[in-house]
Amino acid sequence: MSLDPVWWAGDGVGYIDQRRLPAALEQRTARSTAEVVEAIATLAVRGAPAIGIFGAYGVALTAQTLSPEDFAAAAARIRAARPTAVNLAWAVDRVLAAAPHYLREAEAIHAAQRASDRLIAQAALELFPPRGGVATHCNTGPLATGGDGTALGCIIAAHRAGRDVHVYVDETRPLLQGARLTAYELREAGVPATLIVDGAAALAMRAKGIALAIVGADRIARNGDAANKIGTYALAIAAKYHGIPFYVAAPCSTIDLRLASGTEIPIEERGPEEIRAFLAASAAPPEFPAYNPAFDVTPADLIAGIVTEAGIARAPYEESLPRHVRGAALSQVTSP
Ligand code: MRU
């Protein structure tokens, strides 16, 4: 079965319920704005580009199902369903600006993401040595983007191009996107890989011949600071210490040039129960205080380069990222 995480279903927005993976590959349909918002907020659909595409289809659905008076407020609810990944707000704004051709614009965003993923993977190929371990964090494959994936798409493309890669997959506490989703996608793609707990990443760098670290992003500020799943920052620090190049792969829709630095990126904080329980079993004393930021910001000086559909951006990012965003906008096929 295809791992396309979202699609237009005629009377709603179809999606794979990623909360159920890898135990079940379950397809569902959101038939109202509330169901779209709920699917995003509960991570049934997750990953920055995928929630952007899903939100865009959600606006098209809302236009069909709600009266014009209720439409703007409902679209705003979709836009605010999760705060960190800028792709969601970006996609909702783009679809709203295409009024009344909402569905056509959502489809164009989906198609553009597929094209971006392919270009990102091509650009990243030169970063992969002939053989060696590759560290990654969270899930950045097809399930996260609606295309071939960003960081994981690069890894899978490098494997297909004959690089002898072995992936070290962080399990990605607390919701285990690495263990549940990345391991699943790597197995589907036939890429050699080993699962590790997040705390084992530094040791794996020392002991397992890791030559490259590559992750995705949810929002990248103008200076190159990059927000991604909690734990990414620690992985970048460990990579720096061990002299391992640390790359971010993301489409230009993830770059937010309005923000001067990562300190301005809103970090989603999720409920403490996600930490206090582990796969429904209690994992900490009830009511024990818990702090659960879903993302962190990796400072630009830990990042060797940012791979986009326009190539590899290098420091100073204040100069390279605007060039990438302009280049991607020019090369994108605008919807008629
Ligand atoms: O909370 P999630 O699962 O939506 O977090 C996803 C990530 O952090 C991904 O690394 C990021 O969105 C990039 S997806 C290509």
Task: For 220-256, give the DSSP string.
Answer: EETTS-EEEETTHHHHHHHHHHTT--EEEE--GGGEE
pLDDT at 280: 76
Mean pLDDT, each 10-residue run in order, the chain (336 residues):
90 97 97 98 98 98 96 98 98 98 98 98 98 98 98 98 98 97 98 98 97 98 98 98 98 98 98 89 90 97 98 98 93 52
Residue positions annotated with a catalytic role: 218
pLDDT at 334: 45
pLDDT at 1: 58
Q: Is beta strand 255-256 parallel, antiparallel or unpaired with respect to 277-278?
A: unpaired
pLDDT at 118: 98
Per-residue H/E/C for the chain = CCCCCEEECCCCEEEECCCCCCCCCCEEEECCHHHHHHHHHCCCCCCHHHHHHHHHHHHHHHHHHCCHHHHHHHHHHHHCCCCCCHHHHHHHHHHHHCCCCHHHHHHHHHHHHHHHHHHHHHHHHHHCCCEEEEEECCCCCHHHHCCCCCHHHHHHHHHHCCCEEEEEEECCCCCCHHHHHHHHHHHHHCCCEEEECHHHHHHHHHHCCEEEEEECCCEEECCCCEEEECCHHHHHHHHHHCCCCEEEECCHHHEECCCCCHHHCCCCECCCHHHHEECCEECCCCCCCCCCECEEEECHHHCCEEEECCEEECCCHHHHHHHHHHHHHHHCCCCC
Rounded Cα–Cα distance for residues 236 and 210 (Å): 13
**Centre of ligand 1 from the C-alpha of residue 293, in Å:** 13
pLDDT at 336: 36
**Centre of ligand 1 from the C-alpha of residue 12, in Å:** 24
Closest residue by Cα to atom 10, ligand 1, is 216
Pocket of ligand 1 (CB under 6 A): 43, 46-49, 85, 138, 140, 144-145, 150, 177, 216-218, 228-229, 294
Rounded Cα–Cα distance for residues 84 and 300 (Å): 17
**Centre of ligand 1 from the C-alpha of residue 285, in Å:** 29
Q: Which of 154, 218, 247, 274 is the best mutation target for the ligand 1 pocket, counting ligand atoms within 8 Å of the beta carbon and taking the most?
A: 218
